Amino acid sequence: QVQLVESGGGLVQPGGSLRLSCTVSGRTFSSYAMGWFRQAPGKEREFVAGINRIGSSTAYGDSVKGRFTISRDNAKNAVYLQMNNLKPDDTAAYYCAARTSFYYSVSQDEYDYWGQGTQVTVSS
C-alpha cells in the first residue's frame, strides 16, 4: 500500500516562505512522477507543480511560476515544494500526488495516489 504524507504547512505572512515536504512509502519512490495540487475553499483543485521520475523536468501552474520550486530526493523518498513570496491567494490545502509514470501530468485524474493534504494560510 502506497502512503503519501505531507508536512510543512502553516500560517505565514504575505511575502514569506514555506517549504512543503511529502514522503512516500510502500513502493519504490522512483517509480512515480510527482505532483503538487492545491484547493482553496469553494474552488476546484488546481495543479501547482509537477516533476518527472528522475527530476529532470518540471512544470508549474501559471499563478506560481517564478515563486515556487518543486524538487525531489529519490534517496529520501521525498518531494518538496519551496514556496517564496507567498500571497493571500496561495491560501489553500496543498496535496501531493504520485503518478505511476515517468512523466507528471497537470490533470489530477491521472494521479494514482494522494496524500491527505497540509494547510497553508497566508495572512497578515
Quote the pLDDT of residue 33: 98
Between β-strands 10-12 and 118-122, what pairing exists: parallel, antiparallel or unpaired? parallel
Q: Residue 29 has what pLDDT?
A: 93
Residue 26: strand, helix, or coil: coil
Tens-level pLDDT at each residue, the chain (124 residues): 899 999 999 999 999 999 999 999 988 999 999 999 999 999 999 999 999 999 999 999 999 999 999 999 999 999 999 999 999 999 999 999 999 999 999 999 999 999 999 999 999 9
C-alpha to C-alpha distance for 4 and 121, rounded to whole angstroms: 21
pLDDT of residue 1: 84
Q: What is the pLDDT of residue 26?
A: 83
Output 28-32 pairs: Cβ under 8 A, ≥24 positions apart: 29/74, 29/77, 29/78, 30/54, 30/74, 31/100, 32/98, 32/99, 32/100, 32/101, 32/112, 32/113
pLDDT at res. 27: 81
